[in-house]
Amino acid sequence: MASETEKLHFLLVPLMSQGHIIPLTDFAKLLARWGVFVSIVTTPLNAVRYKDVIDHAKAQNLKIQMIPIKFPCQEAGLPEGCENLDELDSLELSWKFMRACDMLQAPLETLMEELEPKPSCIVSSNAILWTEEVCRKFKIPRYKFGTVSCFTSLCASNISQVDQESILSDSEPFLVPDIPHKIEFTKAQMPKHRSPAGKHSGGSEEHKHKPIMARDPGRATLVNSFAELEPGYLDGYRKKEGKVWCVGPVSLCNKELSERSARGNKASIDEHYCLTWLDSKKPKSVIFACFGSMCHISFPQIKEIGLGLEASNFPFIWIIRKQDYSAQVEKWLAEEGLQERVGERGLIIQGWAPQILILSHPSVGGFLTHCGWNSTLEAICAGVPMITWPMFAEQFFNEKLIVNVLGIGVRVGVERPMSSNGESEDLVRWDDVKRGIEKLMDVGSEEGRMRRKRGEELAKMASNAVEEGGSSYMSFTMLIQDVLEQLQ
């Protein structure tokens, strides 16, 4: 099949968000290792962000490129330069951002007329629905790339069958029907764009009706997961969706130090200093606290996180995203003297950190996380158990998978999402943070030992899945064969 794959040209179209671009770029690298030519559609500023990643891939003789298309910020009512969801000042602007993404359809079609070799197929984020129309026009197959788990997809689908009228309040738990485990949610924990009745809310009228026009499921769904992680949920999702292939964890393509330190943004800390600090700590003793690229956290909540990390007495690395590192936070850190009090026990980083590099270090023993799917998978691959703190979107689903299904996490205790400005009706206090850390790091109890053992077993399964002959490796084989068959 090697000579045939060299004729293939995969065109990847991610949603312009770190949570989509990062895994699709990893997926592109894995595809290119099969000899496939891969092009990733992006925007000028995102192309700059990922230049090092692509340059490194090319240095490995991988046939991969990024093709920037102008992002229509002003036309969609966005500030100039907002080319990635993590650049938005408020998630309330996200519907304008999605409108701008819809406007990329026409320039992409123009691009495809000129591309050589001609694309054999399109792989797009499941949120970029209009690529189905593009594929019909150019008579090529489209594959959806799912950036959530099979567990989340199946639960969300089955929840749409729940009678909304029977749920009396936002805090009343209801059972997800027809799944392998007993899982309960509340209406408050549902992603904002979907209620239990499956109705959309928010956004422009044009964008709300757009999905109806392009509801074709595509040729197949690719999921950044692996079959051994969630077998019952993969089976259930396949019964609903049809052809589903787990192709992950795609982050495991990053084996070299340079690859692990240069994913997404440029790191805000020198990786060698970070590694030296980690090297000085005992195995499995460090707490890594990081809440993703899009979670806005208020100043009062940041204070509680810092005090909880300090009170735990465990060494920690704490990432405060650049947008949340306000003058108020900077002043508090300076006046409070937190860094001075914890000394070498704590490393506080403003901005972006090399997450895979940190999680895979032997000294890291726990991950305080927002439960984004990329972060969840990266922790699973590293065998690191988690303290779960979901904040929005599908993160409450991921928490249920981590804690209730996989048994590798401890809840910090949040019951409802944060608002778009980072505020929450339920401020998580410092002693709740401290308790969560202490429970997770307690390896003296049977529960703690089993949690860590289970994490190590899943990490091994993840590694095996992407190796030759593994379940995800075989999914790549089936995908490439499927594209070849469509071209005959």
Alpha-carbon gap, residue 55 to 465, rounded angstroms: 27
**22, 312, 374, 421 from 251: Cα distances, Å:** 9, 30, 8, 30
DSSP 360-403: TSTTEEEEEE---HHHHHHHHHHT--EEE---STTHHHHHHIII
Q: Report DSSP state, residue 224.
A: S
Task: Enter the tokens of residue 153.
Answer: 């997809």
Question: Is residue 102 a part of any domain in this protein?
Answer: yes
**In the prediction, which pLDDT does 211 show?**
37
- Whether the CB-CB separation of 415 and 426 falls below 8 Å is answered with yes
The β-bridge relationship of strands 220-223 and 316-320 is unpaired
Looking at the structure, do residues 12 and 141 belong to the same domain, yes or no? yes
Q: At what angle do helices 471-487 and 446-466 cross, to 10 degrees?
A: 30
Neighbours of 339 (CB within 10 A): 16
Neighbours of 215 (CB within 10 A): 8
Question: Is residue 259 a part of any domain in this protein?
Answer: no
Q: Report DSSP state, residue 12.
A: E
Neighbours of 329 (CB within 10 A): 18
Alpha-carbon gap, residue 32 to 140, rounded angstroms: 19
What region does 250 belong to: left with phi over 0, alpha with psi -120 to 50, or beta? alpha
Cis omega (within 30 of 0) on the bond before 117? yes
Task: Provide the number of structural domains found in the chain.
Answer: 2
Residues in the chain: 488
Q: Report DSSP state, residue 265.
A: S
Looking at the structure, do residues 470 and 453 belong to the same domain, yes or no? no
**In the prediction, which pLDDT does 202 show?**
36
**In the prediction, which pLDDT does 395 show?**
95
- Residues in Cβ contact with 334 at an 8 Å cutoff, skipping those fewer than 6 apart: none
Beta bridge mates, 124: 13, 144
Comparing CA positions, the residue from 168, 230, 228 lying closest to residue 400 is 230
Looking at the structure, do residues 22 and 109 belong to the same domain, yes or no? yes
- Whether the CB-CB separation of 31 and 466 falls below 8 Å is answered with no
Looking at the structure, do residues 233 and 364 belong to the same domain, yes or no? no
- Whether the CB-CB separation of 234 and 153 falls below 8 Å is answered with no
Looking at the structure, do residues 66 and 186 belong to the same domain, yes or no? yes
**271, 326, 377, 457, 473 from 361: Cα distances, Å:** 12, 30, 16, 17, 25
Question: Is residue 412 a part of any domain in this protein?
Answer: yes
**In the prediction, which pLDDT does 201 show?**
37
Alpha-carbon gap, residue 448 to 37, rounded angstroms: 46
**Of all helices (H) and strands (E), which one includes residue 90?**
none
Looking at the structure, do residues 50 and 20 belong to the same domain, yes or no? yes
Mean pLDDT by 10 residues, the chain (488 residues): 83 94 95 95 94 90 95 93 84 86 96 95 94 96 96 94 78 93 93 46 38 58 98 96 96 81 60 90 97 86 96 96 85 88 92 90 97 97 98 94 98 86 73 97 92 97 97 97 91
Looking at the structure, do residues 307 and 186 belong to the same domain, yes or no? no
3-state secondary structure of 176: coil
Looking at the structure, do residues 298 and 442 belong to the same domain, yes or no? yes
Question: Is residue 260 a part of any domain in this protein?
Answer: no
Q: Report DSSP state, residue 185.
A: E
**In the prediction, which pLDDT does 198 show?**
37
Looking at the structure, do residues 427 and 412 belong to the same domain, yes or no? yes
Comparing CA positions, the residue from 5, 222, 220, 12 lying closest to residue 108 is 12
**In the prediction, which pLDDT does 206 show?**
40
Question: Is residue 258 a part of any domain in this protein?
Answer: no
Alpha-carbon gap, residue 268 to 264, rounded angstroms: 12
Show the domain range for 110.
2-253+465-487
The CATH number linked to 379 is 3.40.50.2000
Question: Is residue 420 a part of any domain in this protein?
Answer: yes
Looking at the structure, do residues 449 and 479 belong to the same domain, yes or no? no
The β-bridge relationship of strands 286-290 and 364-369 is parallel
Task: Enter the tokens of residue 146.
Answer: 């799912």
Alpha-carbon gap, residue 372 to 291, rounded angstroms: 8
**In the prediction, which pLDDT does 210 show?**
41
Neighbours of 80 (CB within 10 A): 8
The β-bridge relationship of strands 409-411 and 64-68 is unpaired
**Of all helices (H) and strands (E), which one includes residue 312?**
helix 299-312
Looking at the structure, do residues 295 and 243 belong to the same domain, yes or no? no
Question: Is residue 221 a part of any domain in this protein?
Answer: yes
**In the prediction, which pLDDT does 105 show?**
97
Amino acid identity at 223: V
Q: Give start and end residues of each alpha helix (H) in 103-199.
A: 105-114, 131-138, 150-159
Question: Is residue 443 a part of any domain in this protein?
Answer: yes
Residue position matching structure tokens 């304008």: 96
Looking at the structure, do residues 226 and 276 belong to the same domain, yes or no? no
